[in-house]
Structure 1
């Protein structure tokens, strides 16, 4: 008795499963049959819930060409389940696939809701056009489709180096030039070049053909609240390193979410909650620390990273130029960089990015000066070095002199200050430079504890160069609030 009940339950469950998978009705809808969705469903008929048939007329309402527009198959008059494809008059539709572009005419339509196979029979005769030859790896050739019965096209095709011909209803036509030419000969072979092609098209009336190469590089951008907003108007384009890897230098990020995307569109995106590096899962990237970063993305693996720009000091002043003589500075925000106790000789030097000469910065003075392209004329000594990645302002503070002054209890106070400061020892000369290296104020023969006013200066960072009576020099960073 239990066995019979169990068998009956299995039969009922199986029947429910089949009914759940098979639609109650399949309809054809779209602009080619008058409109999309409700009120424009042309129901097909079926005897088994799998194979569906219908006779429909598709017509172009606004176009002078035979292009009637797109259609789709859908289940139960709803968009929950729909099928589409790019091929016409026959193809294999996929769930949520593209619209099937139709040519005007009356057709007997068949559709299999299990396999997705469909066929439109009837209408105007449509030539079967293919690209064949040793350059084509697809079995049977690449099938071209048409919307106007004149121009036939295939999209996103890949060829190998070899020869090609167009086949029109079984008859071969070729040419002698590539990527543009005329297929007017039954014996000529088109010398195709290996690569990816956005489209390959043939006008069967004129014989003209065009192989349009796919762009070597993709348009990849970074967008999101971390860079000011999402989408249009907030796409920061990356620069290709090669066909797979892309890079964006010096991008200022807020502590917020962002994503990489392709073609300024949401169809293809990369991201992950991980920061500063990870592998894309499609989620938003949660920037946890604001700063200025170099962003990198591999569009094949989905691996991405955000790192602070690499800034180094190089040149004869530190032993030599370039490789092997890069003294890296460190940063906590990607803007302000520093390195202590750099031993230098009297010679030239420069700052550069990524240990490469593609981007470098110099200046016209030492220990501070106006940023520029020329070499910085360093003076022998041991220095604490600072560099601002935004303004390119730099400074070299005498590290040994600082230690000696500190040892002798020489100091400047208060620091920071709002209006005045003083030294605890007599000084022969005081020069104040702003962050760009411009001399903005000078004091001569200041005695110990004399109040030196900088009330008229703007708030910011300054460098105070002090010279004593023995011509010893020291540079101190001063902050005015």
Structure 2
């Protein structure tokens, strides 16, 4: 009986192995150069797939060129994202817009992350319990990205509190570490880095060992900015969630917010001057003026507050009290308040009033508990302030 059970268990694992998912690259810029011919990748764990010395060509049209990853040579399960040389692919995502070259390619079937590292460059990853809380140093690296073989970066990865090393070519004998966090100089064979949990944008210099764990950047760009779509104007943050920039001059045009100077994560909406940006949303229409801008990375909520040349009369100096409140908020200003609009956290207008007075009582008795935004306007100027209903 025990012998039969052992045979059944052996057959089960053989069947599981034989039916492991096959992951391939396919597309006009893939090694096959075709949307009908797959190039299979290699795996040892059915999660991380690799293929070295892969030659790809340049993608020119996002609607017809590029490449994707797919499972079992079937379009029922496929992954894509426009970003290159790294990104997080999603089901039925965009074509990956490759640049011609020879690369070592890594793809994670579980979380969709991928990297194209030019062949011949050292593969550098971050390794340890801070990366894989379950398996610790028995788990895989999370690979970093490089374009020059010297400067490596990692974007969009959330760490757990724990230790980690920088590891070269997945070799446990070639690790780099230091006791310093969030920035320091790692040395070969040095101690593990104690990483605080959270999302970090990580940089590492292979030649010097200098590394940083910084809050993700959020930038604004578009035709309404001085930089157009070519680069980002970064906002400021002290916590990695709330981002601000003051006195930014914008023209008539459109803008979007994006993270870490890449299109992997970007936010947009048709609402202005306040709204809630959504992933890959519409371009935000902007009216020419100088603004103080706030953006919340966790919710996508944003506000553009027009600044006045005369700060004594600026509507941003309007007083709202008490705040938080159970019932009534008193709005007070030295100049006439023309209009008041109340928004929920999604950016939807739920109430609007025209006080035409210096004082106004905003009745919140019928509101549910939570956070709201009040837009106060006087003449051509306006400001948006957050209020809380207890």
> Of 136, 148, 158, which residue of structure 2 is paired with 1:231?
136
Per-residue CA distance 1:363-389 (angstroms, 9 max, x = gap): 211112232433211112221111223
Distance 1:441 1:354 in 2: 36
Superposed CA RMSD in Å reads: 4.1
Q: Residues 421, 265 of structure 1: CA spacing in aligned structure 2 closer, same or farther, 3 A cutoff?
A: farther
Q: Secondary structure, in 3 states, of the residue corresponding to 2:308?
A: helix
Aligned twin of 1:459 = 370
Asked if 2 retains the 8 angstrom alpha-carbon contact of 1:248 and 1:296, the reply is yes
Alignment of 1:214-225 (within 5 A): 218=123, 220-225=125-130
**Please, what TM-score do these two structures have when normalized by structure 1?**
0.46
Per-residue CA distance 1:158-209 (angstroms, 9 max, x = gap): xxxxxxxxxxxxxxxxxxxxxxxxxxxxxxxxxxxxx99xxxxxxxxxxxxx
Alignment of 1:199-278 (within 5 A): 218=123, 220-225=125-130, 228=133, 231=136, 237-242=142-147, 245-253=151-159, 257-261=163-167, 266-277=172-183, 278=185
Asked if 2 retains the 8 angstrom alpha-carbon contact of 1:269 and 1:282, the reply is yes
Q: Secondary structure, in 3 states, of the residue corresponding to 2:136?
A: coil
Q: Secondary structure, in 3 states, of the residue corresponding to 1:412?
A: strand
Aligned twin of 1:362 = 268
> Of 281, 291, 316, which residue of structure 1 is paired with 2:223?
316
Asked if 1 retains the 8 angstrom alpha-carbon contact of 2:307 and 2:381, the reply is no
Unaligned stretches of 5+ residues in structure 2: 1-102, 105-118
Aligned twin of 2:348 = 438
Q: Residues 318, 471 of structure 1: CA spacing in aligned structure 2 closer, same or farther, 3 A cutoff?
A: closer
Aligned twin of 1:177 = none
Alignment of 1:244-393 (within 5 A): 245-253=151-159, 257-261=163-167, 266-277=172-183, 278-280=185-187, 281-287=189-195, 292-298=199-205, 302-323=209-230, 326-355=232-261, 360-372=266-278, 373-393=281-301
Unaligned stretches of 5+ residues in structure 1: 1-194, 197-213
Q: Residues 387, 451 of structure 1: CA spacing in aligned structure 2 closer, same or farther, 3 A cutoff?
A: closer
User: Is 2:321 the counterpart of 1:413?
Assistant: yes
Q: Residues 375, 451 of structure 1: CA spacing in aligned structure 2 closer, same or farther, 3 A cutoff?
A: closer
Q: Secondary structure, in 3 states, of the residue corresponding to 1:365?
A: coil
Q: Residues 376, 298 of structure 1: CA spacing in aligned structure 2 closer, same or farther, 3 A cutoff?
A: same
Q: Secondary structure, in 3 states, of the residue corresponding to 1:457?
A: coil
**Please, what TM-score do these two structures have when normalized by structure 2?**
0.55
- CA-CA distance at 1:316 after TM superposition: 2.9
Distance 1:458 1:267 in 2: 55
- CA-CA distance at 1:300 after TM superposition: 6.5
Distance 2:211 2:227 in 1: 34
Q: Residues 234, 386 of structure 1: CA spacing in aligned structure 2 closer, same or farther, 3 A cutoff?
A: farther
Distance 2:309 2:365 in 1: 24
Q: Secondary structure, in 3 states, of the residue corresponding to 1:282?
A: coil
Aligned twin of 2:384 = 475
Asked if 1 retains the 8 angstrom alpha-carbon contact of 2:123 and 2:143, the reply is no
Distance 1:446 1:377 in 2: 28
Asked if 2 retains the 8 angstrom alpha-carbon contact of 1:253 and 1:291, the reply is yes
Distance 1:304 1:414 in 2: 46
Count matched residues.
266
Per-residue CA distance 1:342-395 (angstroms, 9 max, x = gap): 122222222244555665433211112232433211112221111223333321
Asked if 2 retains the 8 angstrom alpha-carbon contact of 1:366 and 1:378, the reply is yes
Distance 1:263 1:455 in 2: 61
User: Is 2:361 the counterpart of 1:450?
Assistant: yes
Q: Secondary structure, in 3 states, of the residue corresponding to 2:271?
A: coil
Higher strand share: 2
- CA-CA distance at 1:271 after TM superposition: 2.0
Q: Secondary structure, in 3 states, of the residue corresponding to 1:274?
A: coil
Aligned twin of 2:302 = 394
- CA-CA distance at 1:320 after TM superposition: 4.1
Q: Secondary structure, in 3 states, of the residue corresponding to 2:342?
A: strand
- CA-CA distance at 1:480 after TM superposition: 4.6
Q: Residues 385, 235 of structure 1: CA spacing in aligned structure 2 closer, same or farther, 3 A cutoff?
A: farther
Q: Residues 246, 355 of structure 1: CA spacing in aligned structure 2 closer, same or farther, 3 A cutoff?
A: closer
Q: Residues 322, 284 of structure 1: CA spacing in aligned structure 2 closer, same or farther, 3 A cutoff?
A: same
Distance 2:351 2:310 in 1: 22
Asked if 2 retains the 8 angstrom alpha-carbon contact of 1:364 and 1:370, the reply is no
Distance 1:459 1:228 in 2: 34
- CA-CA distance at 1:479 after TM superposition: 4.1
Distance 2:202 2:140 in 1: 13
